[in-house]
Amino acid sequence: MLDLDETADYTEVQQPGVTLMSIVTVLGLTENTLIGETSSSEYSSEGGTPTFDRIPFRVKAGRRPNLNTFVIALRQDDDNRAHYGRIIAGSELNLRARPGGMQKDDAYGMRRTDIRSSELSPDLVRVMEIELLGEIFVKDDNSLEIAEPTQLPHTGQSVYELPAAIIPKLLNIPEKDDSAKDKPISTSGLYLGNIESGGHSVPFFLPNTAIARHIAVLGKTGVGKSYAVGVLMEELYEKRIPILSFDVLGDTEQTAKELEGKHIVAGTDDFKIPYSIIGLEEFLAFIPNLTSDQRELIASAYGNVFDEALDKLENGEELDVPFASLIDLVKRIGTSINSKATDNAVRRVQAAFNRNSLLTDKPVTWTELLADAPLINIYVGHLGQWQRNLVVGAVARILQRLRRRNHIPPFVLIIDEAHLFLPGGSDLPPSTLVLREMIRTARHDSVGVVLLSQSPSSMDRQILLTCNTRILFALDPEDLRVVAGQIGDLPEETIKRIPRMPRGTAVFTSGMDIMRHAVIVKIRGRTFTTHVAETPDLREAVEKWRKEH
């Protein structure tokens, strides 16, 4: 176990002229943190030999290093440089516990009581493997520097648990710069959880720069995805970054209220979509069973309306193309070509518009909320999927153009159940293509995107690749195979454990310029929002119902 002051700044620059200190001294390593020594064997059962990827080490008697603990392996004749990594595997070899010998003892009634008499037994050896992540060395000013591994690890060298406080430097992520009474704070990072290593923990801050590079939150149902995104929303709220959320399951309504935001139900007077901007295919979908002549007539008229709406968006004008303008165009075009379908086309369009609660020809005001409301949560769970796609696609088209003209502030777009809106395949509605294009170019418009999905295998692969940061909770094997190539430098041993990760624990991985290594994080508790999507106990739910009825 560590016996260190974890609040110390291990990278503090020393005064000029001081003697260069050893890496053991700079890190404050002691006998209490010594856990073993690097080893070498021709047998894989004994850990094999050191390579540029793995370092086996014999565990010192009495030590109990934990899986995923960050460690450092010293080098021979080089006090200022060492290798660092994390424990990813281990085994115990006991010559007295060979199955054949134990069977013979049982057969002859000579069961031995000293099979594992002591960890100092000459017949017992515990070997663990370190995933080699890089090298750490002491600079001339006695500060620490991180580098890629260039030297082969040495055998017979001491292995220490690293102080938890040095982990942020290894990962190249922000460190806490102050502490409130309830949680750590960093101006350059989002406090989402804690990294545990060697029985100690250190706050994990996702760099602010990760937001605009997009984030995918993936995991099967009930593992903590929506809870974690609630934590993310708290952090964005505290940094005054506006949020627009599309809510399918109703999980975010309470959060919106607690963050002084707005909860809006799509299709009510608070949230309608300008009919003029949804696109031709989506508009025609509101008018079923058209004849070919009617469809052609309406399409010609709507094309003019759509072009006018786009021009208004580009010029920062209100989308107030009257519905009467479309009707008038249908009539004029129909008259000009002597179409017998004109009257029926007009009636069909009017009937469709009158019976639909989603569309409007009035200027919308919900776009203005982004300038003032910390969080706008748009509930679409009551709509059919094609209507959800229409809403999200139209909103994406509107906000993208408003943002490019700087009419609205930078913001974060959060989409729940993203596999429903961004499915894989090629036969997709135009609204989905609009959303795809927005996500691909959002970074250049200072818009961050967060996608939640319990089924990454159903999602558009290119969109997943566009999300530079991935937060992976427990996944089914099929979904894990889809993202396995996007998990940074996690070794195969750790990837195989992802399906069994406990609720609330996730693997964070990102580009090297954002976070140097993938890392396992325990999501922190929410501090001022309430999670309302807990998995119910059906027995208790039934009992409660019976009492109420």
Whether the per-residue pLDDT at 50 is higher than 70: the answer is yes
Check: CB of residue 361 under 8 Å from CB of residue 229. no
- Report pLDDT for 486: 74
**Mean pLDDT, range 217-230, rounded to an integer:** 94
Q: Which two tokens stand for residue 206?
A: 């996702």
Contact residues for 154 (Cβ-Cβ < 8 A; gap 6+): 38, 50, 74, 75, 76
Residue 108, number of CB atoms within 10 A of its CB? 8
More confident of the two residues 10 and 348: 348
What's the average model confidence in pLDDT over 22-44?
93
292-314 and 385-404 are packed helices; what angle lies between their axes, rounded to 10 degrees?
Answer: 30
Can you give the pLDDT at residue 180? 60
How many CA atoms does the CB half-sphere of 59 hold within 13 Å?
A: 25
How does residue 220 score in pLDDT terms, banded at 50, 70 and 90?
very high
pLDDT (mean) for 239-264: 94
Out of 170-174, 450-454, 468-472, 542-546, least confident range: 542-546
Q: Contact at 8 Å (CB) between 391 and 266?
A: yes
Q: Rounded to two decimals, what is the model's pTM?
A: 0.88
Q: Please report the pLDDT score of residue 152 as a whole number.
A: 95
Q: What's the pLDDT score for residue 2?
A: 36
Q: What is the rounded distance in angstroms from the CA atom of residue 325 to the CA atom of residue 331?
A: 10
Strands (E), 70-123: 70-75, 78-94
Report the percentage of the chain scoring pLDDT > 90: 59
Residue 209 clears pLDDT 60, i.e. is over it: yes
Mean pLDDT of the residues in the chain: 89
Provide the pLDDT for residue 54: 95
Kindly tell me if the per-residue pLDDT of 538 is higher than 50.
yes
Domains of the chain: 23-171 (no CATH), 208-271+364-548 (3.40.50.300), 274-361 (no CATH)
Torsion of CA 95, 96, 102, 105, to 10 degrees: 140
Quote the pLDDT of residue 17.
Answer: 56
